[in-house]
């Protein structure tokens, strides 16, 4: 049966159409009908249909934005269901305001065949987020033989990547770009020169030396990015650099874009906000500085906290600044979480032995909002980097409140204070260096195709809607 839903009274923000106004938004049959500020206009639009109208009044201090789009999510299923499942990852997405998540293929089996991709899509049916699979560049992500790329795109792959590891062979990368070009999807690289990085576990530099940990140098990322950009220049194929972490990488992408190369790039919240000093328990960098400006001093963390271990590693304050500058000037297109959930066993060990990764879907918004009051990351840029910009980069047809679009919506209170408590995550991965931090900005409600899939007013951590249907 047809239904109509009017969301009334919140600040409606959609950077893709330069929209920022307190008003109403009307949803019918899972799609956005219209938005505006005039109550009579809402009544008139609602009267166009016989369908019953439900009106939800929202505080004017709350923000209604397009549901967030994540270009980089690890859902771990099939194969690593102890870390995450498609259902639990999608619930985490809904709690974080994400309605479209592009999942990486480093599962077991790897998403390198139509069978596995179909399996992922079947498991994602009815989940509280749209799951858009990224298929592997090489069979088994072993870097030797290309996957059946045309077939995978036909089956629904939105991009190709061997993420978790780089494409070591320049020959194979060239082939991948040549095959992907006519398919209209980007090739996504995890830039890591394995010869240079070796067994590095944290940023190569003074902190690593002090802690006695093996370094993962910035140049290990930049060398591979530079190689790839040369191959993009040769092939003309669309290319996307995952999780940029260094100032030098930002410069490379900036120059490539200036030359007109079809490249896009993403940055994670943790690379924007945290530095390698966190590995030593010293909390410096943009997040700590922003909280300090509000009078909040963070207690020192623990040394060798494996929750700070991530690939690529947390870098220096100068890198954070360069990444932010790249985001602001459009060099970096999107903020992506690189949500990488792990079990406690994966992290409860020596630093060198621990798994790389941060569970990021449920903390992304609040951590990034710390920068808003500092003026360093304008609110509109932040929302654009979570919605219209990632959608445009990969042509995903998401991240918008335009009439006719799917009613995928994130509603959040940018001022609500809360303490990060991983035990309350919907994600099975509780691995975050932000545990215990007092942040502000909380998702109140998430809608997917017009259906409320998360409502913070319900019991904390539970999602309503169809999410539970995924077994």
The residue among 84 and 163 lying less far from Zn ion, judged by its C-beta, is 163
Site residue total, Zn ion (CB under 5 A):
2
Q: Shortest gap between Cβ of 191 and Zn ion (angstroms)?
A: 8
Of the residues 11, 190, 440, 444, which one makes contact with Zn ion according to CB under 5 A? 190
Question: Which residue minimizes CB distance to Zn ion?
Answer: 190
Using CB atoms within 10 A of its CB, is residue 115 exposed (0-12), middle (13-18) or buried (19+)?
A: exposed
Instruction: Determine the interface stretch with Zn ion among 185-193, 207-215, 273-281, 357-365 (rule: CB under 5 A).
Output: 185-193
The residue among 190 and 271 lying less far from Zn ion, judged by its C-beta, is 190
Beta strands in 307-389 (DSSP E): 334-335
Q: Shortest gap between Cβ of 110 and Zn ion (angstroms)?
A: 14
Q: Shortest gap between Cβ of 54 and Zn ion (angstroms)?
A: 42
Using CB under 5 A as the binding rule, whether residue 442 contacts Zn ion is answered as no
Q: Which of 70, 112, 162, 338 is catalytic?
A: 338
Go through the chain and tell me how many residues it has: 471
Clarify whether 338 is annotated catalytic.
yes
Instruction: Determine the interface stretch with Zn ion among 52-60, 95-103, 159-167, 323-331 (rule: CB under 5 A).
Output: 159-167
Residues 445, 128: Cα–Cα separation, whole Å: 12
Centre a 10 Å sphere on the Cβ of residue 41 and count the other Cβ atoms it contains: 15
CA triplet 104, 451, 127: central angle to 5 degrees? Answer: 30
Residues 219, 237: Cα–Cα separation, whole Å: 24
Helix (H) or strand (E) holding 13: strand 4-14
Question: Per-residue x/- mask for Zn ion, residues 105 to 144, rule CB under 5 A?
Answer: ----------------------------------------
Q: Shortest gap between Cβ of 311 and Zn ion (angstroms)?
A: 6
Q: Shortest gap between Cβ of 336 and Zn ion (angstroms)?
A: 10
Instruction: Determine the interface stretch with Zn ion among 157-165, 166-174, 318-326, 400-408 (rule: CB under 5 A).
Output: 157-165
Using CB under 5 A as the binding rule, whether residue 193 contacts Zn ion is answered as no
Of 7, 13, 16, the C-alpha closest to 379 is 13
Instruction: Evaluate whether 87 touches 131 at the Cβ level (below 8 Å).
Output: no
Q: Shortest gap between Cβ of 265 and Zn ion (angstroms)?
A: 13
Using CB under 5 A as the binding rule, whether residue 163 contacts Zn ion is answered as yes
Instruction: Evaluate whether 134 touches 156 at the Cβ level (below 8 Å).
Output: no
DSSP secondary structure letters along 285-326 = SHHHHHHHHTT-PPPP--TT-GGG--SSPPB-HHHHHHHHHH
CA triplet 405, 156, 163: central angle to 5 degrees? Answer: 110
Instruction: Determine the interface stretch with Zn ion among 19-27, 83-91, 182-190, 430-438 (rule: CB under 5 A).
Output: 182-190
Residues taking part in catalysis = 338
User: Which residues are at the interface with Zn ion (CB under 5 A)?
Assistant: 163, 190
């Amino acid at each position: 049966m047809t239904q109509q839903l009017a969301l009334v009274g919140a600040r409606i923000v959609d950077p893709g159409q330069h929209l920022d106004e307190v008003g109403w938004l009307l949803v019918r049959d899972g799609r956005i009908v219209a938005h505006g500020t005039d109550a009579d206009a809402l009544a008139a639009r609602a009267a166009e249909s016989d369908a019953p109208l439900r009106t939800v009044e929202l505080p004017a201090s709350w923000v209604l934005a397009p549901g967030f789009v994540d270009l980089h999510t690890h859902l771990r299923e099939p194969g690593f269901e102890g870390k995450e499942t498609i259902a639990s990852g999608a619930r985490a997405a809904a709690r974080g305001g994400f309605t479209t998540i592009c999942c990486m293929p480093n599962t077991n089996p790897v998403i390198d065949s139509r069978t596995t991709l179909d399996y992922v899509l079947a498991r994602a049916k009815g989940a509280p987020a749209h799951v858009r699979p990224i298929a592997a560049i090489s069979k088994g992500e072993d870097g030797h033989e290309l996957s059946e790329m045309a077939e995978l795109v036909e089956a629904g792959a939105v991009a190709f990547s061997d993420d978790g590891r780089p494409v070591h062979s320049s020959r194979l990368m060239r082939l991948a770009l040549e095959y992907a070009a006519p398919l209209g999807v980007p090739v996504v690289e995890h830039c890591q020169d394995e010869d240079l990085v070796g067994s590095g576990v944290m940023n190569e530099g003074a902190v690593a030396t002090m802690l006695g940990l093996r370094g993962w140098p910035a140049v290990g990322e930049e060398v591979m990015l530079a190689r790839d950009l040369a191959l993009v220049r040769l092939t003309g194929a669309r290319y996307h650099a995952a999780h940029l972490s260094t100032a030098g990488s930002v410069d490379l992408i900036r120059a490539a874009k200036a030359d007109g190369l079809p490249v896009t790039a993403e940055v994670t919240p943790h690379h924007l906000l945290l530095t390698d000093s966190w590995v030593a328990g010293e909390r410096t960098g943009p997040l700590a500085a922003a909280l300090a400006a509000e009078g909040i001093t963070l207690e020192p963390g623990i040394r060798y906290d494996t929750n700070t271990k991530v690939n690529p590693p947390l870098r220096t304050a100068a890198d954070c600044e360069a990444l932010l500058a790249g985001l602001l000037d459009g060099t970096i297109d999107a903020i992506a979480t690189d949500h990488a959930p792990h079990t406690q066993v994966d992290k409860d060990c020596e630093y060198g032995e621990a798994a790389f990764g941060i569970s990021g879907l449920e903390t992304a918004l609040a951590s990034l909002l710390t920068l808003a009051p500092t003026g360093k990351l304008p609110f509109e840029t932040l929302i654009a980097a979570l919605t219209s910009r990632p959608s445009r980069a990969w042509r995903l047809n998401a991240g918008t409140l335009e009439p006719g679009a799917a009613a995928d919506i994130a509603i959040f209170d940018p001022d609500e204070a809360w303490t990060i408590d991983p035990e309350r995550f919907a994600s099975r991965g509780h691995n975050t260096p932000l545990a215990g931090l007092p942040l502000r900005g909380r998702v109140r409600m998430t809608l997917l195709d017009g259906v409320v899939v998360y409502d913070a007013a319900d019991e904390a951590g539970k999602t309503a809607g169809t999410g539970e249907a995924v077994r």
